[in-house]
Amino acid sequence: MINYKQLYYFWNVAKSGGVTHAAKQLNITPQTISHQVSELETSLGTRLFRRVGKRMELTQAGEVTLSRADEIFQIGNEIELLVRDRAISGGFVFRAGVVDTVPKSIAYQLLSATLNLPEPIRLVCHSDKPERLFGELAIHRLDLVIADQPLPRELGVKAYSHELGQSGVTFCASPSLISSLKGSFPDSLHNAPMLLPSQGTSLRSAVSQWLSKNQLRPQIVAEFADTALLKAFGHTGLGIFPVPSVTADEVVRQYNVRIIGKSEGESIRFFAISLERRLKHPAVLAVRKIASGLFSTDVSSMTPEPFL
């Protein structure tokens, strides 16, 4: 088994640029550091440094060892911060990332469950692009990422996508716009003004596939990266807009719009992406438990608006 004290001395030598600098930083003799690094090389069976003039350079094995040592000591620092935070706050810090295309109301319902655990937890949450959040997850800066797509394999992040549930797609519009639509749903969408989420989102993909399957071609008035802005524009009557069915009732109440219909056969999936293959973290388990109720049905309790 590797000696982590020896690894720590090696790491400091590699980071500081030499034995002398490392000795000053650690307040020990250069001879002690040299001996510990030599012992590490012996146990690994390879040289980690080579002399080039008066300088020490890492060998290829040294580069690999340094890369892994960076990860090990970074995790060590995070453990220290985690335990310190618990001592200060009386509970653990739970760091969650929410992909920016996940509706905030869904994220709220999922994450609020973590604040009702028997042991106090301080929730630290932020929203960002998926690539950035997955990068933070990979280096243990996040405990969980809530996303509307599974983790892409090409990112090379060793994490696991746990499906939380699925939601259908519901179309909403303002009462004034509904009164101008002709025919019944879904034919009423053809040539009607529509507001859509940006390309590349799971909601946009589900809507586009469903429209194509039903040979419907609405007039796309605008596209939005921010779903809250999309709904605000929809509230004014500028276009029909899609929302996950699980949020439809809330959207109707908040934006004073009406449901005109629901897609069949297309759904949006939501995931808890974690470094754990088998979920054990109490906060993540709480998220999964609340999700089982949230996504148990995505049928809106409100009746779709009739058409003339």
Q: Which domain holds residue 145?
A: 84-166+269-294
Q: Is residue 301 in some structural domain?
A: no
Q: Is the same domain home to 254 and 273? A: no
Q: Is residue 281 in some structural domain?
A: yes
Q: Is residue 45 in some structural domain?
A: yes
Q: Is the same domain home to 256 and 277? A: no
Q: Report strand pairing: 92-99 vs 144-147.
A: parallel
Q: Is the same domain home to 263 and 284? A: no
Q: How high is the pLDDT of residue 200?
A: 85
Which candidate, 43, 39, 63, 59, places its Cα nearest to that of 51? 59
Show which of 250, 268, 286 is a domain's final residue: 268
Q: Is the same domain home to 253 and 178? A: yes
Q: Is residue 73 in some structural domain?
A: no
Q: Is the same domain home to 48 and 117? A: no
DSSP 157: -
Q: Is residue 153 in some structural domain?
A: yes
Average pLDDT for 26-47? 92
178 touches 260 (CB < 8 A):
yes
pLDDT tens for each residue of 112-145: 989 988 888 889 999 999 999 998 888 888 999 9
What percentage of residues in the chain have a pLDDT greater than 90? 60
* 83: its two tokens: 């335990």
Q: Is residue 287 in some structural domain?
A: yes
Which candidate, 171, 203, 242, 234, places its Cα nearest to that of 99? 203
Residue 223, helix vs strand vs coil? strand
Cα distances from 130 to residues 30, 95, 96, 232, in angstroms, run 45, 15, 12, 24
Q: Is the same domain home to 55 and 45? A: yes
Q: Is the same domain home to 282 and 147? A: yes
Q: How high is the pLDDT of residue 147?
A: 96
CB atoms within 10 A of CB 261: 19
Confidence label for 302 from pLDDT (cuts 50, 70 and 90): very low
Q: Is the same domain home to 88 and 149? A: yes
Q: Report strand pairing: 241-244 vs 268-274.
A: unpaired
* 202: its two tokens: 């799971």
Q: Is the same domain home to 152 and 283? A: yes
CB atoms within 10 A of CB 247: 22
Show which of 68, 96, 117 is a domain's final residue: 68
Give alpha helix (H) positions in 17-154.
19-26, 30-44, 60-89, 104-111, 130-138
Which candidate, 239, 186, 245, places its Cα nearest to that of 213? 186
Q: Is the same domain home to 109 and 235? A: no
Q: Is the same domain home to 245 and 281? A: no
Show which of 41, 68, 95 is a domain's final residue: 68
The pTM of the full predicted model, rounded to 2 decimals, is: 0.67
Which candidate, 288, 287, 292, places its Cα nearest to that of 94? 287
Query: Backbone phi, then psi, for 238, in 5-degree steps?
Result: -80, -15
pLDDT tens for each residue of 270-298: 999 998 888 888 999 999 999 998 886 55
pLDDT tens for each residue of 160-184: 999 999 999 999 999 999 999 988 9
Task: Spell out the residues 6+ positions from residue 206 whose beta carbon is closer than 8 angstroms to its own.
Answer: 169, 242, 263, 266, 267, 268
Q: Is the same domain home to 114 and 202? A: no
Q: Is residue 290 in some structural domain?
A: yes
167 touches 268 (CB < 8 A):
yes
Q: What CATH code is carried by the domain that includes residue 240?
A: 3.40.190.10
Question: What domain count does the chain have?
Answer: 3
Residue 35 in this model has a pLDDT that exceeds 60: yes
Confidence label for 239 from pLDDT (cuts 50, 70 and 90): very high
Strands of the chain, DSSP E: 49-52, 55-58, 92-99, 121-128, 144-147, 160-167, 169-173, 193-197, 219-224, 241-244, 258-262, 268-274
Q: Is residue 103 in some structural domain?
A: yes
Query: Backbone phi, then psi, for 98, in 5-degree steps?
Result: -120, 120
